[in-house]
Amino acid sequence: MSRLQTAAAQDHGPEVRRWLPPDVGEPEVPPEPPEPEVEPPTEEEIAAIKEAARLAGAEAGFREGYQAGYQEGREKADAEAAAESQEREAREQGLREQTEQTLRETVAALEGIAHDLADPLASLGDDLEPELLTLTVTLAERVIMDELDRRPDLLLGVLQRALDQLPSRHHKIRIHVHPDEQRILETYAQGMDESITWVADQEMRRGGCIVESGPSRIDARFETRLRQAVEAIWGELTPPAPAQDDPAPEVEGGDPIDAGDSMGGGTDESPFDGQSPGSIADLGEPDVSEPEPEPVPEPVPEPEPATDPQISEPETDQAETNP
């Protein structure tokens, strides 16, 4: 008996009992119902399960394949679209550049046409220059020769200038002239103190002469003086080189003659401008500034080959006053 029961029995006697709740203990667990017996599936059920699993797997695979194919196709389509866009831009860029080049060429051609229309002779200057110069020389030559036929006394100035170019008069003088002009020149030279031998040369052209004295030789032919005058003009106009490259004329036994001095004392005017067309002696006036001293008499050497023309240019009034 517990101490509480003992104390209660002492106070109230043995007939008094204290009520205590009964000891019920652990609740009883109901028994589990028996598991039903599972019957094994039949062959039809197994076949149906397999078919359902196959269909489910096929559907899942289709969905996965569709998604993968769609994504791959989308990426491929995007790449093809980007490549096509780049190709289209490249074609457009090439077309723009080709169009711009065509426009530039067209503008350049139109500018050239406009320039030619504004000044049609500007582009022909270089091509016409040689032809115009040749025409001018030919016309001047014919005019001078015509004037020579009317005024043969113009040859006197040519002869006088050629004689003045001789560095010395101590040698015998030989003058080559055309037979038709020999008489008038002989008449003019009768008043001179020099001993002159005249040589009639059929191959000499009218309008000039060749003077030889010892080692010196003065070429005063018409064609050589005219050629030197033309070469001086061509040098000023900077044309192409002439067909024959002749050195500057010089007096044998004397100093070289400057082509610029042969053009009327070095002026810039054309020999055919502002002058009488018949002034043959006005084609040029060579200037021998420092002639050689008189040579000591020695055996006369053979004449050297003819040099370039010596162009004389006497004053017109002086040529006309000569006897």
What confidence tens digit (pLDDT) does each residue in 111-137 have? Answer: 888 877 777 666 676 777 778 878 888
- Give CA–CA dist 113/312, Å, rounded: 48
Band of pLDDT at residue 73, cut at 50, 70 and 90? confident
CB 176 within 8 A of CB 303: no
Beta-bridge mates of residue 250 = 256
The answer on pLDDT for 295 being more than 60 is no
Tokens of residue 174, six digits = 């030989």
Burial of 177 (0-12, 13-18, 19+ CB in 10 A): buried
**CA 159 to CA 318: how far, in whole Å?**
13
Q: Report pLDDT digits (tens) over 12-67.
A: 555 556 677 766 667 677 778 777 777 787 888 888 888 888 888 888 888 888 88
Q: pTM, whole model, 2 decimals?
A: 0.38
* Percent of the chain whose pLDDT exceeds 70: 62
Q: What would the pLDDT profile of 198-231 be if each residue is shown by its tens digit?
A: 888 888 888 888 988 888 888 888 888 888 887 8
**Cα(18)–Cα(9) distance, rounded to whole angstroms?**
9
